[in-house]
A and B are shown apart, each in its own frame.
Chain A
Amino acid sequence: MNFTLKIWRQKDANSVGRFVEVSARGIRPEMSFLEMLDVVNDEVTQAGGEPVAFDHDCREGICGACSLVINGEPHGPNEKATTCQVYMRSFRDGETITVEPFRARAFPVLKDLVADRSAFDRIIQAGGFVSVNTGQAPEANAAPIGKEVAEKAFDSAACIGCGACVAACKNSSAMLFVGAKIAHLGRLPQGQPERAQRARAMVARMDAEGFGNCTNQYECQAVCPKGVTVANIAWMNRDYLAASLKKIFTG
């Protein structure tokens, strides 16, 4: 298969970027999208050019590093798949494919297709945890947790922190990411003592990082490679409201 790639090239965070056309030849349908980029990069290198930089690591859909917008869609055409799990059999031979980084004010581009998503880390640092020091834990089976509760907590915890939800949102909202963490911990008995404080702190940090608000377009849910649903945003809004009221009435 042969393709024309329109790839975003940008020297560094302070430079202006632009699309550059590159051709990809002799691509096989069973190659992954990133393997196709490997082939292109090797050819560019041998021809004396500079290969295109992109984030990637596990290449099995779980680390959350890969982060390309392919033909306008974060993580490309496949449902519930990360960029690394997109295979070339999903494209038509001869197609022109546009490749961009995840874009958001809170995700500045560092180079080519590499964006800085450290804002997500800072949101977790603000409150996305249970404050339990090593050694303090009680016996694991001391507090039973119903199977359904555990399964739902897992559904929220399945988030890989890739940022596709932000890239897909016209407001660059991070509410799916933040809601997933608040719901994961909020559903479990271990998360109860800090539940209100967690919602307040994470939302405050999210706003400070420059993410926008949710206007119920559900694009985030549509692109999430792990199937995290907007029910998590509703959960977050409830917890945040309850936490704010609690603060007003109890100080």
Chain B
Amino acid sequence: MKLDARIPAGPLAQKWDRRRAEMKLVNPANKRKYEILVVGSGLAGASAAATLGELGYRVKCFCFQDSPRRAHSIAAQGGINAAKNYQNDGDSVHRLFYDTIKGGDFRAREANVHRLAEVSVNIIDQCVAQGVPFGREYGGMLANRSFGGAQVSRTFYARGATGQQLLIGAYQALSRQIGLGAVRMFPRTEMLDLVVVDGRAKGIVVRDLVSGKIASHSADAVVLATGGYGNVFYLSTNAQGCNATAIWRAWKKGAAFANPCFTQIHPTCIPVSGEHQSKLTLMSESLRNDGRCWVPKAKGDRRAPREIPEVERDYYLERMYPSYGNLAPRDISSRAAKRVCDEGRGVGPGGRGVYLDFSDAIARLGENVVRERYGNLFDMYHEITAENAYQVPMRIYPAIHYVMGGLWVDYHLMSTLPGLFVLGEANFSDHGANRLGASALMQGLADGYFILPYTIGDYLASSGAKRPAADAAEFRAAEEEIQARTKRFLGVNGKRTVSEFHRRLGKILWEHCGMARDAAGLKKALEEIPALRQEFWEDVRVPGSGDELNPSLERAGRVADFLELGELICMDALAREESCGCHFRAEYQLEDGECRRNDEKFAHVAAWEFQGDGRPPLRHAEPLVYEEAHLATRSYK
């Protein structure tokens, strides 16, 4: 496998302009000859499908939810970054680029990140034109807030529901194209395989989730925008349906999987309350603009928070990272929370929690201002915990939230399989080993609105319109394989539910490949996961049949893929013998507990190649060359 990132030559700031000038175009009359499949309808998928439809391509868009508007981008709360410098506080494209590279602990590709910072400003323009009701100042201009890992205010927001408003903008743009007949939408439809013909991605096989019918769609190119795989950990902030099946099937068909072990743990989530729990709920990072994190100074202090005097509180983020304070990046804040809890100073049931306290902000700004900024988050916290955070501090703890890893893509967002493009969280490209807050929305929309529409044209113009028939041998073989797999799920007839296996897999991963990892634990996980997988195929119980709406069957397919992906995540974590960003190997740390990176050996992207079931995958490396940013020890002190 050859990893050619196709990074343009020339100075960093001119690479994207230069590449756009070089790329081939498809003339308007020819665009309607090309068929493109977009899988996923979140920010990346909806924006791509809408834009490709506007350009004149024939587009089909697929989502497993009942409507494209439900994709999980909708749950993003805090905001979207853009280098507008409206606050006149020293922001610029270069600064957003550098913050993102540094935030990713120097494990992202420079050229991609710079392009992301460049197009960030266009995204805000586009969204405002669609009618996205961003927060505004009294003079009518757009307002900004601060987010972790930045010393400027560059985050645009719509109360605490920015993802919802951006997704509705993209959904409406997509709906317009559906109404015009340019895009055909397939809701409640799940991609179960990728079809490769003569080395190129040429279609997909899907299951209609209502009728159970398996069908093939052939195309000139396939775009995967299917989100992240955080649900491999069972408990995460992801929606219940989020899954890795589309990218995992693509991996098994030859697309390289990059940095699977880069999984982000978000510091501010509502702590786990019991075994029954199905998901964890995020409390937006924006809360750390005004909330202060603390734990008691003394171990095992069980007093109510208001009874603990100021001098006996440890505002640990402000103490450890004075220049960023409560806005230290996510990986660093999460580890700090873990550390104080490991010391026995955690609060709440089980001692796995820290306080996020708004009393200073309420005293300074008044309750009304705090309510205006974060009201919906306080309401949500109240619904879940029955506690009033205006009166008592919130209790929070880190949880799995996002994955930086994903399918490997080049500068054109194309995977190692020609004709297969991967956007948004499903690819690996922009966030290195740690993503900064408010950058996921930016990346999803950058990929879909402003990058893919150019690069896919270049691919189509060079490869020509040669679609196989949807009943070609490759499609029939894939369909038969899916039918056989369905039969296998339904035929095990064991004693244990799919959710039990999922929960057990999550426990293994959280324990051995969560916030801290080491070789011994990872090796243990690499023994436990295959054993669990075997047990799954011998003892799982999937009720119902394949030709009806069957949520248990859907989940079985997704969990079966997680049981394979979990192993790859641990292999990657074991092979990366350094600590960087979210990937904290206990063996590689500095004296103060920070990450000890090894740039000499690991300043590269790890890209894994599938070698067949039961055979170890091959690890390839794409070296990361830094022309502009200098590899430095990351410090937020």
Chain A residues in the interface with B (C-beta under 8 A): 11-12, 28, 30-32, 34-35, 38-39, 42, 45-46, 48-51, 53, 55-65, 78, 80-81, 85, 87, 89, 110-111, 114, 116-118, 120-121, 124-141, 144-147, 150-151, 153-154, 157-158, 160-161, 184-185, 188, 190-191
B residues near A133, Cβ cutoff 8 Å? 51, 54
Check B312 for interface membership: any CB of A closer than 8 A: no
Q: B residues 58-107 with Cβ under 8 Å of A?
A: 65-70, 72, 74-75, 84, 86
> Which residue on B lies nearest to A34, using beta carbons?
B278
Supply 15 A–B pairs (Cβ within 8 Å), ascending by A: A45-B497, A62-B74, A65-B66, A87-B384, A110-B549, A121-B67, A121-B69, A130-B130, A130-B131, A132-B126, A147-B140, A150-B134, A154-B133, A157-B158, A184-B133
Complex Cα distance A4/B307, Å?
A: 42
Check B171 for interface membership: any CB of A closer than 8 A: yes
A residues near B74, Cβ cutoff 8 Å? 58, 62-63
Known: A45-B497, A128-B175, A134-B47. A150 touches B133 (CB 8 A): yes
Interface centre among B69, B75, B172 (most CB of A within 10 A): B172
Complex Cα distance A85/B279, Å?
A: 12
A residues near B69, Cβ cutoff 8 Å? 64, 121, 161
Q: Which of B125, B210, B274, B380 contacts A30 (CB 8 A)?
A: B274
Interface contact B276-A31, CB-CB below 8 Å: yes
Interface contact A126-B179, CB-CB below 8 Å: yes
Complex Cα distance A144/B142, Å?
A: 8
Complex Cα distance A42/B278, Å?
A: 13
Check B281 for interface membership: any CB of A closer than 8 A: yes
Complex Cα distance A160/B164, Å?
A: 8
Interface contact A38-B122, CB-CB below 8 Å: no
Count contacts on B: residues with CB < 8 A to the other chain: 82
Complex Cα distance A134/B281, Å?
A: 33
A residues near B164, Cβ cutoff 8 Å? 62, 158, 160
Within the complex, the shortest CB–CB distance from A232 to chain B, in Å, comes to: 14
Interface centre among A46, A89, A120 (most CB of B within 10 A): A46
Complex Cα distance A100/B260, Å?
A: 41
Check B135 for interface membership: any CB of A closer than 8 A: yes
Check B229 for interface membership: any CB of A closer than 8 A: no
Known: A62-B74, A124-B171, A136-B129. A146 touches B140 (CB 8 A): yes
Q: Which of A30, A50, A135 contacts B544 (CB 8 A)?
A: A50
Chain B residues in the interface with A (C-beta under 8 A): 47, 50-51, 54, 65-70, 72, 74-75, 84, 86, 122, 124-131, 133-142, 158-159, 161, 164-165, 168, 171-173, 175-176, 178-179, 185, 187, 210, 239-241, 273-274, 276-279, 281-282, 379-380, 383-384, 386, 449-450, 453, 495-497, 499-500, 541, 543-544, 548-552
Within the complex, the shortest CB–CB distance from A128 to chain B, in Å, comes to: 6
Complex Cα distance A145/B543, Å?
A: 54
> Which residue on A lies nearest to B499, using beta carbons?
A42
Q: Which of B65, B70, B165, B274 contacts A157 (CB 8 A)?
A: B165
> Which residue on A lies nearest to B164, using beta carbons?
A62
Interface contact A145-B380, CB-CB below 8 Å: no
B residues near A116, Cβ cutoff 8 Å? 66
Within the complex, the shortest CB–CB distance from A2 to chain B, in Å, comes to: 15
A residues near B279, Cβ cutoff 8 Å? 59-60
Within the complex, the shortest CB–CB distance from A185 to chain B, in Å, comes to: 5
Given A59-B239, A85-B380, A145-B136, 5 more pairs with CB closer than 8 A: A57-B240, A134-B173, A144-B140, A188-B133, A190-B131
Q: Which of A30, A55, A80, A110 contacts B273 (CB 8 A)?
A: A30
B residues near A45, Cβ cutoff 8 Å? 497, 541, 543, 552
A residues near B171, Cβ cutoff 8 Å? 124
Interface contact B125-A60, CB-CB below 8 Å: no
> Which residue on A lies nearest to B275, using beta carbons?
A28
Complex Cα distance A161/B282, Å?
A: 22
